[in-house]
Chain A
Amino acid sequence: MSEDETPVIRVKNLEKIYTGGVHAVKGVSFDVLPKKVVVIIGSSGSGKSTVLRCINRLIEPTEGEIFLEDVQINSPSTNINEIRSEIGMVFQSFELFMHLKVLDNVSLGLTKVRGYSKEKAENIAKDVLAKVDMSDKIDVYPGQLSGGQKQRVAIARSLAMNPKVMLFDEPTSALDPELIGSVLESIKSLVAEGMTMVIVTHEIGFAKEVGDWIIYMDDGKVVEAGPPEIIGEPKTERMKKFLGQILEA
C-alpha cells in the first residue's frame, strides 16, 4: 500500500470497554485507503464487529481516535448524523424498515437526511436498486423478500446515500448457503466500481478474492495483518488454528 494517499478511514489505538467491564477492543489501529477493501476476519467475540460499529459510532469508543478523511469521528464537536450519512452500513440481519416498501426503504435517507424531493430521491433509489438487480421488487414489503434479496436492498439503501466508505457487518452470516452468492456478487460489483469498504466476514474465500488488506483479530487485538496472501500462509499459530476450523466447517 502506498503511503502518500490520505486514508478514507483511519483508526488509531481504538479501545472499547463495555459498561459491564468487558474489554472488547484493545488498541486496534489500521487505515483504509481510497478504493481499497479491508477485510476483518476472526472468531466470534474477537471484537471485529465492535471495531466496525465504532467507526460510525453506533458504539461509542472508549479511547483512541477515528477519522473519516480529516474529520475526527469520535470528537464531541462532530455532527455525527452528517458523518453517518457519509458512511454506509450493511447489517448481518439486514434491518430493512419493515413498514416501508423497498423503494421507500432506499429513498427514506435521501428525503429526510439529504432533503431531496420525493421524485429525485426515488429516481436515485431506482438506479441503485437496478445496480443490485432488485428493480422488479421496488413495490413490495421487505417481509415478502428472501434473505438474499433483503440484503441486496440493504446494500442499495446504503449505496443510495453515495457514501465515502461502506461497512459490511457479516453480510452473509444470516443467509442460507444458496442465497449467499447473489449478495457476494453485488458486493463484488461495488468493488469493481472502486468503492472503499470495510468488511467483517466469515467467508474466507470471498475475503481472499476481494480483500486488498486482511486483518485477523483475536481477543480484541490485531493478531495478523497483511495482503490477502497471508490467508494462504498464516504466520501465527492462532490464525492457523482459526483458518483450520473455518475450512473444516
Chain B
Amino acid sequence: MKKFDFPSLFRSHRVFSINIIIVICILIPLFFVPSSPSEEIPDTGWDGVPIETDFDLNDVVTINGTSALAIGESGKIFYTENSGNNWSEEDSGTIQDLNSIEFVDVPIAVGDSGVVLVKDGDNWFDNSIVGASNLYDVSVVNYQSLNDSLVFVSGMDGEVWKWYNNSWIDLSSVTGVNSDIYGIDFVNETHGIAVGVNGVIIGTDDGGASWEPRDVPEAVQGFSFYDVAFINPIRAFVVGENGTLLRSSGTGDSAIGYNWLVWDTGSSSTINSIGYSSINKVWIVGNDNFIALTKDGGKSFYNQSQPQTIDTDFSGVSFIDGSNGFMVGESGIALYTNREGIDPAQLDTAKSFDTFWVYAEYAYPFLKEGMINTLKIIFLAIFMGFTIGVTLAVFKTSQLNIRIPLSMPREDGTWNFVNFNPLRFFATIYTDIFRNTPLLVQFFFIYFGLVEVGIDLTFEGILGEDRALERAYGSAVVALGLNSGAYQTEIIRSGIQAIPAGQMEAGRSIGLTYLQSMRYVVLPQAIRIVIPPLGNETVNLVLNSSLASAIGFGEITRKGRLLISLTFETFWTWGLVLIFYFAITYTLANILKYVEKRLKIPGLGLGGEE
C-alpha cells in the first residue's frame, strides 16, 4: 500500500497520527466487506392479491394473520383465509354499496340507505337502521351478542346512530353537524371522535349524548377528513384531503382530541384510511398509489412500494399485528403483506448498495441528524453536569457544621455532640445514588417514571409551548446531566482537596470570605488540576449518551438502528456509527488538551515547570 503522506502537522504529533491510523483501520474493512447477501428479497413491500370483480372495494378488515374481509360497491363482500390467494364472495343480502367494516368478535359492515350487516356464524344478518341515510363508518365498542353490544355509526348529513339495549338511538340532532361525517371512532364507551367534510372534528366524552366541535389547526381548516383512529386514551389520528394527518396526544387523565397538530406525511394526495398495530406504528393509504408507514408515531413517514403500476386510489387498510395486513382499492384491487409493507430493495432509488460509498451516501443524512442530536444532548449535559459538579463539590468540602446533641447532658453539664453538615449530607446522598445505580435505569426512571408523578421534562413551563422540547430530548439531557454531575462532583472535590489548606487560609487572611476564597483562590486552581479527569468524564458522557436511544431519542445510535431496519447493512452501519462516535470523542479530547495547555500555569500541578 502506498505510504500515506500526512501533512507535517500530523507527523509532528505522534499520538495524533496513531489515532488517524486507528480510524483508517476501521475504515478499511468497511470498504472491503461486501454488501450483505440479498437472497429472495421481494421486489415490493406488498403482494397483489386481486379480487375478481370490477366493483370498487371500499374497506377491508384483517381478522387474523391470513384472513380478511373486503367490502365494496353493490353489497359485495369477499372473504379470504389464505393471505388473499383465494377470495370467496359472501351473500350479503343487499345491493346497497357497503362503505365500512369493523371486526370486534364479529364483523359488522355498514353501507348506503342505513344498511348495517352483522355476521352471525356463517351468515350475514341484517340489522339495518330504518330511516337512516347512507352510512359511512362504524365503530364497534363491544359486542357480546346482538342485544348486548355497543356500536356507533356515522353517515350523510351529520347522522350519528348508537346501537345500545337492542335498539338504534338517533344522535343526529345532538352532533351540531349537518354535513357528511366520514369517520367515527370510540376508544371506550364514553370517549369518541367523529370527522367529516369541511374540516369537521367533533368529540364526545359521554357516550354520544352530547358532542362539541374540536379546534382544527388553521392550516387544514375546510379540508375534508376521511378517517379517524382513536387508538388509545393517549393518541388519536385523523387523515384527509391534501395529505393531511392530524395527531392528538395526551398523557394520563387529560382527555385528548382537543388539541390537534399537523404532521408531515410528505404527500399531497387525499388520504382515505388509517391502519395501525400500535400507537407508533401506523399505516396510511390514499389516492394515487399512496401508502406510507410511520414507526415513530407520525414523526417520519416512509412511502411504501406496491406492485400496482396503474394509478390506484386505495380506500382501506387494516393490520392485525405489526407485520400482517391487507389493503383494498378501486376495481377489486387488494394487497397483502406479511412484512409490514416494508420492502428493502425499493427503499432508495439507488436500489441495493453495491459499494460502501453508495451506502455511505444513503446513510449520511441519517447519521448527520443523529450526530447533531448527540451533540445537542452532550453539550447541554456537560454544562449541566459541570454546574452540579462545582456546586456539590463546594458542598462536600464545606465546613458548615450543625452540632446535634446525641442524648441528655452528662453529669458535669457537658453535652455529647455529633457534627452534622447538611450540605455535605445532601451532596453525598446525591452522588451515592447516581454513582451506584445503572445509567440505563436512571434513563428509564427519568423518562418513564417522572412523567407519572407529573414532572414534565419538556420544559414547556420555561420555554413556552412553541419551543418546548421533545420529552425524550429533555429527559436525555437531564439524565445524562444528573449522572455526569455526580461523577464531576467527585472529580472536582478531589481537586479542591488537592489544593493546600494554606491557600484557603491565605485567602481568608486578606479578608476574603469563605465563598470568595473558594471562588477566586481555590476553585481556579482545583479545576485546572482536574481538567484531565474531567476530560475522561466528558468522553464517558459522550459514550453513555448512546443509552438515550433506549428512551427513543433520535441520537446517533438510534439512527444506526433505524438504518439497519431499513437496509440490513449491519457491518457498515455500526462501523460508521463507531467512526462518528470516535470523531466526537477524539475532537473533544483534543479540545480539552488544548484548553489544558492554554490554562497551564507554571508551578501549579505536577510537571508544571515549562
Contacts and interface: CB of A to CB of B under 8 A. Distances in A.
B interface: dominant SS? helix
Contacts of B502: 91, 93, 95
B355 interface: no
B146 interface: no
Contact of B512 (A86, A113, A143, A158): A113
A98 interface: yes
A147 B506 CA distance: 17
Interface stretch (A4-12, A33-41, A77-85): A77-85
Contacts of B510: 84-85, 89, 108-109, 113, 157-158, 161
Nearest to B526: A99
A95 B511 contact: no
A143 B525 contact: no
A56 interface: yes
Interface string B503-522: 10111111111001000110
A112 interface: yes
Those 8 A-B pairs whose CB atoms lie nearest each other, nearest first: A143-B603, A85-B511, A109-B510, A95-B506, A89-B509, A143-B602, A113-B511, A95-B502
Interface string A10-43: 0000000000000000000000000000000000
A144 interface: yes
A161 B521 CA distance: 17
27 contacts: A81-B512, A81-B513, A82-B511, A84-B508, A84-B509, A84-B511, A85-B510, A85-B511, A88-B509, A89-B506, A91-B506, A93-B502, A95-B500, A97-B520, A97-B521, A98-B604, A99-B525, A99-B601, A99-B604, A109-B512, A112-B516, A113-B510, A113-B511, A143-B602, A158-B509, A158-B510, A161-B511
A142 interface: yes
B570 to A, nearest CB: 50
Interface in A38-84: 56, 58, 81-82, 84
B608 interface: yes
A141 interface: yes
B76 interface: no
Given A58-B505, A93-B502, A143 B511 contact: no
Given A97-B521, A98-B525, A143-B604, A109 B508 contact: no
Contacts of A141: 601-604
Contacts of A143: 601-604, 608-609
B528 interface: yes
Interface string B591-610: 00000000001111000110
A97 B601 contact: no
B322 interface: no
Nearest to B514: A81
A142 B525 CA distance: 13
Interface residues of A, number: 28
A177 B609 CA distance: 24
A165 B509 CA distance: 12
A97 B506 CA distance: 8
Contacts of B506: 89, 91, 95-97
A246 B564 CA distance: 82
Interface string A168-207: 0000000000000000000000000000000000000000
Nearest to A93: B502
Nearest to A87: B509
Contacts of B520: 97, 108, 112
Contact of B603 (A56, A98, A108): A98
B458 to A, nearest CB: 41
A84 B609 CA distance: 33
A227 to B, nearest CB: 29
A80 B512 CA distance: 10
Interface in B173-189: none
B524 interface: yes
A58 B601 CA distance: 28
B603 A144 contact: yes
Interface string A226-244: 0000000000000000000
B258 to A, nearest CB: 56
Nearest to A97: B521
Nearest to A83: B511
A91 B505 contact: yes
A56 B408 CA distance: 35
Contacts of B503: 95, 97-98
A212 B101 CA distance: 111
B602 A56 contact: no
Contacts of A113: 510-512, 516
Contacts of A91: 502, 505-506, 509
A143 B528 CA distance: 15
A142 B511 CA distance: 21
A81 B602 CA distance: 30
A86 B510 CA distance: 8
A99 B528 contact: yes
Contacts of B609: 143
Contacts of A95: 500, 502-503, 505-506
Nearest to B516: A112
A67 to B, nearest CB: 18
Interface in B516-569: 516, 520-521, 524-525, 528
B601 A98 contact: yes
Contacts of B525: 97-99
Specify which of A82, A98, A143 lies most central, judged by the most chain B CB atoms within 10 Å of its CB: A98
